[in-house]
Amino acid sequence: GAGVSQSPSNKVTEKGKDVELRCDPISGHTALYWYRQRLGQGLEFLIYFQGNSAPDKSGLPSDRFSAERTGESVSTLTIQRTQQEDSAVYLCASSLVRNGYTFGSGTRLTVV
Amino acid sequence: AQRVTQPEKLLSVFKGAPVELKCNYSYSGSPELFWYVQYSRQRLQLLLRHISRESIKGFTADLNKGETSFHLKKPFAQEEDSAMYYCALSGPGATNKLIFGTGTLLAVQP
């Protein structure tokens, strides 16, 4: 595609439910990143994919968070048993060459 | 630890005034520094990177290793410069992971 696509753009969920956030990177971009942005804060790194493997998961805040990537394309970030502190904008970015990030428009997650 | 500090949450200037958005970093090594910008209702996008030594939309930023700073400057602000600006750094290695600051909202008044 022409850009990085994220869905849904907005998600409201009840505390305790599981959610899945999707990212479609730019075709051919081998690197994919997930970040989280809480209100009034900077972007927190969550996880990095190179191809289908995730050599850096150091930012995942707990074992309730997981992510996968298939076919060097789509990635899914799953949050199990959501908590109110999970409310944030989740941003995905992809990259072909070093340091050339292209961001998606994000998914705004609200846990009520 | 790697860290990026943007001390100002909000910077308000009048059109035509000079702008300096501050960014300081903490990194033991030679980082690569970037400025990203997010205009209202738009995606976060790369503005400039220090290795390119370029000027984009009139903005420049010089890496000062002695002061560990990478301040973003523009001599004459325009209303369309109003946006959220994020400073970020990337260390060596294969991950290309960016560490972001908390951002500064630039408001250019007419």
CATH number at residue A57: 2.60.40.10
Could A55 and B43 be called an inter-chain contact, meaning their C-beta atoms sit closer than 8 Å? no
Structural domain of residue B49, as residue ranges?
3-109
Identify the residue whose tokens are 């753009």.
A9
Q: What's the number of domains chain B is made of?
A: 1
Strands of B1-110, DSSP E: 3-5, 10-14, 19-21, 24-26, 32-38, 45-49, 60-61, 72-74, 83-90, 98-100, 104-109
pLDDT category at A99 given cuts 50, 70, 90 is low
- Chain A residues with CB inside 8 Å of B104's CB? none
pLDDT digits (tens, 9 = 90+) for B48-91: 988 777 888 999 998 898 999 999 999 999 999 999 999 999 87
B20: pLDDT confidence band, cut at 50, 70 and 90? very high
Indicate yes or no: CB of B102 within 8 angstroms of CB of A41. yes
In this prediction, residue A18 has a pLDDT band, given cuts at 50, 70 and 90, of very high
Cβ pair A56:B95 closer than 8 A: yes
Q: Which of B37, B44, B86 should we substitute to test contact with A (largest number of A Cβ atoms within 10 Å)?
A: B44
β-pairing, B10-14 vs B104-109, is: parallel
Q: What is the pLDDT of residue A39?
A: 86
The whole domain housing A26 covers 5-111
Number of domains within chain A: 1
Give the pLDDT score at B73.
Answer: 96
Q: Output the pLDDT for position A96.
A: 78
- Which of A37-46, B2-11, B90-99 is predicted least confidently? B90-99
What is the mean predicted confidence (pLDDT) over B10-36?
93
B36, B53, B56, B49: which is closest to B106 by C-alpha? B36
The residues of B whose Cβ lies within 8 A of any Cβ of A are 4, 32, 34, 36, 43-46, 49, 86, 88, 90, 94-103
Contact A35 B97 (CB under 8 A): no
- Grouping H, G, I as helix, E, B as strand and the rest as coil, residue B45 is strand
Q: What is the mean pLDDT of chain B?
A: 91
Nearest CA in chain A to B92: A98
Residue A1 has pLDDT above 60, yes or no: no
Where would I find the H helices in chain A? Answer: none
- Any idea what the CATH number is for the domain that residue B37 is in? 2.60.40.10
Task: Please report the pLDDT score of residue B94 as a whole number.
Answer: 64
Give the tokens for residue B24.
């300081």
